[in-house]
Amino acid sequence: MSKDHEDSYQEPNPQSISRAHSALTGIYEISKALTRPARLEMALSRVINLLASFLDMDNGLIALLDEEGETTTVVGAGWSEATAKEHFERLPEQAVGQIVVSGMPLIVRNIAESPLFTDWSEAERGSEPRAFVGVPIKGEARTIGTIMIERRVGHSSPHTLDEDVRFLTMVANLVGQAAAVQTLIAKDRERLMTEHHRLEKELEQRTDGKYEAISWIIGESAAIREVVGKIQQVARCNLPVLLCGESGTGKELFARAIHEYSPRKAKPYIRLNCAALSESVLESEIFGHERGSFTGAVGMRKGRFEMADGGTLFLDEIGEISPAFQAKLLRVLQEGEFERVGGNRTIKVDVRLVAASNRNLEAAVLSGEFRSDLYYRISVVPIFLPPLRERREDVGLLASEFLRRFNKEHGVSLNMSPRALEVLSACDFPGNVRELESCVRRTAALAKNTTIVVEDFACSNGTCLSMVLGKSINNNNKHPGKKGYFELPVVSPPPARARAMPKAVEPNAQSSDEDGEILRQTRNGTSADADSEERARLIDRMERSGWVQAKAARMLGLTSRQMGYALRKHGIEIKRF
């Protein structure tokens, strides 16, 4: 070797060799800790304790964040989970945010001189100079957490901090990969559990003869299962059915189910919305007309009754037809025969009628707006459809289905975060399922990312119309004489209607004087105290009857329907045993 080479050659620094060996050993031990089968929190706890043995640090934290920046996991060296989380929350938000947002390491060589730590008290800063090092933990598309250490400056050179950053960056890369694997495993486990529960429910439905799901009706709540059971039971006979419920509860879907599960399913299923037509047009639509019967009748046309012969006729919004047309409809229901408009030939038909209304038809009968004989003819089997706020457990299923349809129609692949589903489930949805579908479609159309989050909803931006609709309904309740006003069955009736309802029913012979007093108070107008007494008496009769609504109604001299309205008016929940 020449002299020049001897002069330029330098022996390796033993300290550098020692640091490199220590770093390799540390990476090896940490990789073993992360690949052991254990919960992610336990693996991260082992990692931070290993860092304490390889680095000269006073404090150390590993924190993981969710998609919305909320802390999910915090572990510290030698600390309990609560202590580690408390220390993490005391760290300056600006310092942690800089690491997460920029995705770059942060080195603070002296905490006492850094503007990021100006909010710290002298006790938190300590008497000796300390340094802070933080590196991001990166996922596929975002920063999913951070590793942070604090150490006394002492006689360490700045070069040592740079080496610590390189070492911690390699550790953060290993932690990020481990977190991604754990997330994938958790999703697979959730998918398998969901599939397991689905198969269990499917098996239960196959073995339980009392309930069989209807494919186009989405819901697993007790309320919807009860309605589906009634639908399937009553479909086997030919009795008229009245579907009652608020607008948007899916009355047309249930009417279709009655037809499909009946012996008439091979025959026609004809639908007509009575509220959409004037009286003259409605008469022609339902009964048909002869050629020349009126201007524009250039040919004979069959009516809906004639078209539905042998099958099912669904009349939606039947509460909107005029009193004159109610008499015409009553005849065909009683006699099974009618004449076309402008004709004199009697036509006989065999039709099963399913009617629907979102009006309080009982109140309409008492006020003279709806014929009582027609009401009794169409409501042989009344079925009440629960509003969406009474079956909140179905909101997630419905929202997922509506989002699936949106994705299919528009060729996109959107999904909804768990917190977004929680927000939907907490909403009352005055418009029920129809409003939920509109909400999901509107939010999906305006979503900024492939995952719908809470901020995407109109309610988060102050543009939700549900509250406006609720106020409008309340204002209408104050003016019941307004044209076009109708009261939803589930909404607590205004005092004037509540007083009018029991007039047609007197206390029976078995009713006590107290029972009669309830009705007298209802007729004469009730104060707040009277309402409280009425509620107490309703609860008393329900308790005496073992919470059997029909029995309690007989004790009070009410119909089961009126008893149901009274219970909803006072917010009394029926106990199930």
pLDDT digits (tens, 9 = 90+) for 205-222: 654 444 566 788 888 888
pLDDT at 478: 45
CATH number at residue 339: 3.40.50.300
Residues 35 and 179 in one domain: yes
Residue 577 domain flag: no
Residue 246 domain flag: yes
75-113 pLDDT, tens digit each: 887 777 778 888 888 888 888 888 888 889 988 888 888
pLDDT at 19: 65
> Given the DSSP bridges, would you call strands 241-244 and 269-273 parallel, antiparallel or unpaired?
unpaired
In whole numbers, what is the pLDDT of the chain averaged over residues?
79
Residue 213 domain flag: no
Residues 161 and 80 in one domain: yes
Query: Is residue 259 within 8 Å of 354, Cβ to Cβ?
Result: yes
pLDDT at 144: 87
Query: Is residue 252 within 8 Å of 314, Cβ to Cβ?
Result: yes
Residue 2 domain flag: no
pLDDT average, residue stretch 442-449: 90
CATH number at residue 450: 1.10.8.60
Residues 331 and 226 in one domain: yes
Residue 127 domain flag: yes
pLDDT at 121: 66
Query: Is residue 338 within 8 Å of 288, Cβ to Cβ?
Result: no
Residues 163 and 262 in one domain: no
Residue 575 domain flag: no
Last residue of a domain, one of 434, 469, 504: 469
Strands (E), 240-363: 241-244, 269-273, 288-289, 301-302, 312-316, 337-339, 346-348, 352-357
Which tokens is 259 given? 């037809």
CATH number at residue 150: 3.30.450.40
Residue numbers of the domain that contains 550 = 492-569
pLDDT at 532: 80
322-358 pLDDT, tens digit each: 888 898 899 898 888 888 888 888 899 999 999 999 8
Total structural domains in the chain? 4
Which tokens is 572 given? 């009394």
Residue 68 domain flag: yes
128-160 pLDDT, tens digit each: 788 888 899 988 888 888 998 888 776 555 457
Residues 512 and 432 in one domain: no
Is pLDDT above 70 for 45?
A: yes
Residues 56 and 105 in one domain: yes
Give the residue with greater pLDDT, 554 vs 367: 367
Residues 429 and 455 in one domain: yes
Is pLDDT above 70 for 493?
A: no
* Separation in Å, CA 163 to CA 56, 179, 293: 12, 24, 97
Residues 78 and 133 in one domain: yes
Residue 565 domain flag: yes
